[in-house]
Structure 1
Amino acid sequence: MKDATIALHHGFKSDPTTKAVAVPIYQNVAFEFDNAQHGADLFNLDVPGNIYTRIMNPTNDVLEQRIAALEGGIAGLAVAAGSAAIHYAIQTLTQAGDNIVSTPQLYGGTYTLFAHLLPSFGVDVRFARDDSPEAIAELIDDKTKLVYCESIGNPAGNIVDIEGLAEVAHARHVPLMVDNTVATPILCKPIQFGADIVVHSVTKYVGGHGNSLGGVIVDSGNFPWAEHPQKFASLNTPEPAYHGVVYTEKFGPAAFIARARTVPLRNTGAALAPMNAFLLLQGLETLALRMERHTDNAIQVAQFLKAHPLVAWVSYAGLADHPHHELARKYMGGKPSAILSFGLKGGYAAGVRFYDALQIFKRLVNIGDAKSLACHPASTTHRQMNEEEQAKAGVKPEMIRLSVGIEAIEDLLQDLDQALRQA
């Protein structure tokens, strides 16, 4: 099936009892065992099934299957938020004394996790000087457990060379993990270019309506964990947190995602609420259609801003003169989602006046809604960074980030024009 069909049909046919076509909301905590042996088999991971919604839930399962299918992965894991997905994916592979290597252009919340929280657990995060494969390669050593990047940087809008990063990571026997939130699997499929793990904040474009938090981890099933038993001991030795199971022996190619579910999620509990999974599934059904409108509107907004006499610069890789335009063509077919940034000639003060004058664009820090959104990263999403850290992340003091929605383009351009004139 093609993407638009997968998003509507994969993983669910109809409810066997009621014949309902919509995915039911299984809003319950626990599930009954047939007998004592059935319960034992479930806890031993010998048979598939549901035990407790903190670990798995039938509604969540459909969301996991659909995102995994869209990404071309072997399995998915849904959790309470995108930040939990990133944390759990890293926690599945690391322990105190390990390190990960990351590109510097990151969403502000991810930067905070990497710069402050992970080091407090003894996991070092090494930020490369830029997002080139060469810069990443020089930081990998025998304690590195993964390489991390965003397919489209938020808010910098940079496009990473996924294939190049995968090559340098695999040459050093470590997996590549890609946050594909901004691109979505409709525009970019990192696994096709060598990524091993993909994470999403499905709060954003997948949900699309700003009403539900959620995150998903997708396992490609391609990384040879069993070939590196010492480096990835958590997958190749008995797991003390789950009665001695050896994940590579029990689950083969799905070892990573199985441990993510039964160790980080099971023991720390950032479970996705079934109601949220249901709402996210409603958004997923129209994702392919919405991304067409998002990207059509975004290129017109970028062209309008680029031609406007009050705008100093525009950063959108869909523009032919953007330094990452060729990467956008390679990985996203020339449609690098609908996040763009720009700065006014009047600097920070003019940017504030523009921001305050917006009428249709909503002033908030989310992205990916059907509605158009605007934020000032230096004072919101990246406020916890100093000026040097902001610059490395691609954030300028005057930067305005737009998440272009699906409204009528005439109305969006009129709103931008009136706000620019007031600035």
Structure 2
Amino acid sequence: MRNETLAIHGGYEVDPTTKAVAVPIYQTVAYAFDSAEHGAALFNLEVEGNRYSRISNPTCDVLERRIALLEGGVGALSVSSGQAALHYSVLNVARNGNNIVSVPQLYGTTHTLFAHVLPQLGINVRFAESDHPAAMEKLVDDNTRAFFCESVGNPAGNVCDLEALAKVAHKHGIPLIVDNTVATPILLRPFDYGADVVIHSLTKFLGGHGTTMGGIVVDSGKFPWLEHSDRFPMFSEPDASYHGLVYTDHFGPSAYIARCRTVYQRTMGSVLSPLSAFLLLQGIETVALRIDRHVENGRRVAEFLRDDDRVEWVNYVGFEDNRYHALAGKYLGGRACSLMTFGVRGGYKAAAKFYDALKLIKRLVNLGDAKSLACHPASTTHRQMSADEQRGAGVTLEMIRLSIGIEHADDITADLDQALAAAK
């Protein structure tokens, strides 16, 4: 099935007991065992089934199966937020004394986790000078455990060369972890280009309505953990915290995602509620339709801004003179995402006046909503970064980030027009 169909049907069959067509909300904490022997078998991972909703839940399971199918992976783990997904994806491969190498163009809270939180756990994050594979390779050493990038940077709008990054990472025996939140699997499936792990903030385009927090980690099932057991012994050596389980022996290609669930979600508890999973599934059913409208509206808005002399610059990969235009053609099928940035002529003060004058477009820090949204990154999402760090992430003082929604394009540009007039 194509992604448009998987988004509606993937991971769920009609409920055998009730014949429910919609995914039921299994609002339960625990599940009964048939016997003491059955309970032991479940906890030994000898049989499939549910034990406790901190570890698995039937509603969340459908969400996980659906996203895994959309991305082309072998399995997925849903968690309470995109940040939790990011955290678990790194902890699953790196330990005290290890490092990961990251592109500099990152969402602000991702940078905070990498620059200030993970180092306190003994995991160093090395930021490359650019998103070029050669810049990443310079920072690899014997303790490097992963490459990290955003497929489409937020808010920089850069498109990473995933195929080239994956080749460099695999050359050194390490996985490539990709945040695919902005592109979604409708525009890009990183596993098709060699990525090993994909994460999403489900809160954004996949949920699509600004109502529900959620995150997910997806495993390609293709990275050879056993072959690189010197770097990743946690997958091929007995786990003392789980009765000596060896993940590569027991789970095979799904070793990464199984360990993510068994070690991190089971013990650290970043759990997605069944109701949240249900609401996210509703959003996913229409994601392909919404992305089509997002993309078309984004193009209309970008062209409007480019042609307006009250605008200093527009960063939109759909334009041929954008440095990432060719990569957008390769990885996004030529369809630029609806996330873009621009500078109001007149600098920061004019940008602030523009921002305050918006009426239809909402002022907030989310993205991927059905509604059009605007953000001033330097004072919000990237506020905790130094001026140099902001520039490295592609953030300037006058920058406005737009996430173009699915309203009528003329109404969006009309609001931009009146706000630009107020700024001037």
1:11 Cα shift? 1.1
Local SS of the residue matching 2:156: coil
Indicate yes or no: 2:71 matched with 1:51: no
CA deviation profile, 1:363-383 (whole Å, cap 9, x unmatched): 000000000000000000000
Amino acid at match of 1:406: I
Question: Which residue of the partner structure matches residue 391 of structure 1?
Answer: 391
Aligned counterparts of 1:24 and 1:289: Cα–Cα separation in 2: 24
Local SS of the residue matching 2:92: helix
Indicate yes or no: 2:183 matched with 1:173: no
Is the CA contact 1:152–1:336 (under 8 Å) kept in the aligned structure 2?
no
Is the CA contact 2:299–2:336 (under 8 Å) kept in the aligned structure 1?
no
Aligned counterparts of 1:135 and 1:241: Cα–Cα separation in 2: 38
Question: Which residue of the partner structure matches residue 363 of structure 1?
Answer: 363
Aligned counterparts of 1:112 and 1:334: Cα–Cα separation in 2: 32
1:23 Cα shift? 0.1
Question: Which residue of the partner structure matches residue 12 of structure 1?
Answer: 12
CA deviation profile, 1:339-365 (whole Å, cap 9, x unmatched): 000001100000000000000110000
Amino acid at match of 1:156: A
Local SS of the residue matching 1:21: coil
Question: Which residue of the partner structure matches residue 102 of structure 1?
Answer: 102
Aligned counterparts of 2:214 and 2:208: Cα–Cα separation in 1: 12
1:230 Cα shift? 1.7
Local SS of the residue matching 2:14: coil
Question: Which residue of the partner structure matches residue 196 of structure 1?
Answer: 196
Question: Which residue of the partner structure matches residue 263 of structure 1?
Answer: 263
Aligned counterparts of 1:335 and 1:140: Cα–Cα separation in 2: 33
Question: Which residue of the partner structure matches residue 73 of structure 2?
Answer: 73
Q: Percent identity?
A: 59
Local SS of the residue matching 2:263: helix
Aligned counterparts of 1:22 and 1:412: Cα–Cα separation in 2: 34
Question: Which residue of the partner structure matches residue 341 of structure 2?
Answer: 341
Aligned counterparts of 2:118 and 2:305: Cα–Cα separation in 1: 39
CA deviation profile, 1:224-272 (whole Å, cap 9, x unmatched): 0001112101111111221110101111111000000000111010000
Is the CA contact 1:31–1:50 (under 8 Å) kept in the aligned structure 2?
yes
Local SS of the residue matching 2:209: coil
Local SS of the residue matching 1:93: coil
TM-score w.r.t. length of structure 2: 0.99
Local SS of the residue matching 1:87: helix
1:31 Cα shift? 0.7
Local SS of the residue matching 2:271: coil
Amino acid at match of 1:284: I
Amino acid at match of 2:2: K
TM-score w.r.t. length of structure 1: 0.99
Question: Which residue of the partner structure matches residue 409 of structure 2?
Answer: 409
Aligned counterparts of 2:173 and 2:143: Cα–Cα separation in 1: 11
Is the CA contact 1:299–1:319 (under 8 Å) kept in the aligned structure 2?
no
1:17 Cα shift? 1.4
CA deviation profile, 1:47-68 (whole Å, cap 9, x unmatched): 1111111110000000000101
Aligned counterparts of 1:336 and 1:70: Cα–Cα separation in 2: 20
Aligned counterparts of 1:157 and 1:331: Cα–Cα separation in 2: 13
Amino acid at match of 2:415: D
Question: Which residue of the partner structure matches residue 114 of structure 1?
Answer: 114
1:336 Cα shift? 2.7
Indicate yes or no: 2:138 matched with 1:157: no
Is the CA contact 2:133–2:165 (under 8 Å) kept in the aligned structure 1?
yes
Aligned counterparts of 2:320 and 2:51: Cα–Cα separation in 1: 52
Q: Which runs of 5+ in 2 are unaligned?
A: none
Indicate yes or no: 2:380 matched with 1:380: yes
Amino acid at match of 1:383: R
Aligned counterparts of 2:116 and 2:240: Cα–Cα separation in 1: 28
Amino acid at match of 1:158: N
Q: Which runs of 5+ in 1 are unaligned?
A: none
Question: Which residue of the partner structure matches residue 127 of structure 1?
Answer: 127
Amino acid at match of 1:30: A
Structure 1 residue runs of 4+, over 4 Å off? none
Amino acid at match of 2:392: K
CA deviation profile, 1:292-346 (whole Å, cap 9, x unmatched): 0000000110010011011000001111211100100100011132100000110
Is the CA contact 2:181–2:202 (under 8 Å) kept in the aligned structure 1?
yes
- Cα RMSD (Å): 0.6
Local SS of the residue matching 1:343: strand
Question: Which residue of the partner structure matches residue 27 of structure 1?
Answer: 27
Indicate yes or no: 2:304 matched with 1:304: yes
Indicate yes or no: 2:284 matched with 1:284: yes
Is the CA contact 1:156–1:341 (under 8 Å) kept in the aligned structure 2?
yes
Aligned counterparts of 1:176 and 1:67: Cα–Cα separation in 2: 18
Aligned counterparts of 2:28 and 2:8: Cα–Cα separation in 1: 24
Aligned counterparts of 2:47 and 2:10: Cα–Cα separation in 1: 22
Aligned counterparts of 1:402 and 1:133: Cα–Cα separation in 2: 28
Aligned counterparts of 1:346 and 1:114: Cα–Cα separation in 2: 34
Aligned counterparts of 1:114 and 1:161: Cα–Cα separation in 2: 21
